[in-house]
């Protein structure tokens, strides 16, 4: 038996680096970590069946990704009021009293943003996608004191519901919604992709190159591949880049802390992951 049994539940995750991250983290602590990729369509089981099996079969916890982050938030106890307000969970611990939920996308994005831009505020931000990761990023941007947050989503009801929640939690961030990225990206300081567009199996870009001039920084939640078309276009336009790898790294570091409580040599882990050192 491994020292720590973990997993990732999500669709289209075959290329995920999460198993390697947690195995490397375990190796730093002299632990054997088994981290399983649990893909409902591939397994032929629905999310509820897989989730219940993980709880029953001794998993310490699971990460949860697209498209289940909002769904799983309704199945776990969430002690953090901010995460409860988000309604999206990406890290679950199976405790004796029942599963508990956390959101390390939120904390991970804040860490990634500060590492790249220090204390400089986000400014006016156009964020495309208001699903699970989009909700976490939106709350993080409010916490980072963005001057304005422009939410782009074809589902106007979902975007406006998030906007109302953000206004209630805001420290002064103006929040607006719309369906057209061209209109809401105009004059933005930061551009954020919180959709799956650009990842393996979802080619393209959610923020066209024509929207980039005038912006200062860009972030893409996608990290497989690292060099998405959106980030390539943004770099060519002279924007400061924060890749999805940075969010992946920090959310994983924070998830590891929840799963194990064990310390990490973060620079060594970062270098190993970027160099694709085998775990």
Q: Which residues are catalytic?
A: 68
Spatial distance between the Cα atoms of 144 and 149, rounded to a whole number of angstroms? 11
SS3 at position 258:
helix
- Ramachandran angles phi, psi of 7, nearest 5°: -160, 170
The conformation of residue 226, written as its DSSP 8-state character, comes to S
Q: Are 129 and 195 in contact (CB under 8 A)?
A: yes
Radius of gyration of the chain (CA): 18
Spatial distance between the Cα atoms of 83 and 73, rounded to a whole number of angstroms? 9
Q: Are 60 and 6 in contact (CB under 8 A)?
A: yes
Number of helices followed by number of strands (H, E) in the chain: 12, 11
């Amino acid at each position: 038996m491994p020292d720590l049994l973990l997993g990732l539940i999500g669709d289209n995750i075959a290329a995920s680096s999460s198993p390697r991250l947690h195995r490397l983290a375990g190796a730093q602590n002299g632990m054997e970590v088994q981290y399983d990729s649990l893909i409902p369509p591939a397994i032929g089981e629905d999310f509820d069946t897989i989730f219940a099996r993980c709880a029953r079969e001794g998993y310490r916890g699971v990460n949860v990704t697209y498209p289940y982050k909002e769904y799983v938030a309704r199945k776990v106890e969430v002690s953090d009021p901010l995460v409860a307000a988000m309604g999206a969970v990406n890290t679950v611990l199976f405790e004796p009293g029942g599963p508990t939920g956390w959101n390390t996308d939120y904390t991970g994005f804040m860490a990634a943003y500060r590492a790249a831009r220090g204390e400089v505020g986000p400014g006016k931000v156009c964020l495309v996608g208001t699903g699970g990761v989009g909700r976490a990023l939106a709350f993080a941007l409010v916490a980072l004191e963005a001057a304005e947050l422009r939410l782009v989503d074809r589902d106007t009801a979902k975007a406006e519901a998030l906007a109302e929640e953000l206004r209630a939690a805001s420290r002064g961030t103006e929040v607006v919604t719309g369906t057209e990225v061209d209109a809401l990206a105009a004059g933005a300081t930061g551009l954020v992709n919180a959709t799956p567009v650009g990842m393996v199996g979802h080619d393209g870009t959610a923020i066209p190159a024509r929207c980039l001039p005038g912006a200062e920084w860009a972030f893409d939640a996608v990290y497989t591949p690292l060099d998405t078309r959106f980030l390539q276009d943004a770099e060519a336009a002279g924007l400061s880049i924060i890749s999805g790898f940075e969010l992946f790294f920090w959310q994983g570091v924070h998830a590891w802390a929840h799963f194990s409580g064990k310390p990490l040599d973060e620079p060594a882990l970062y270098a190993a992951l970027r160099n694709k050192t085998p775990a």
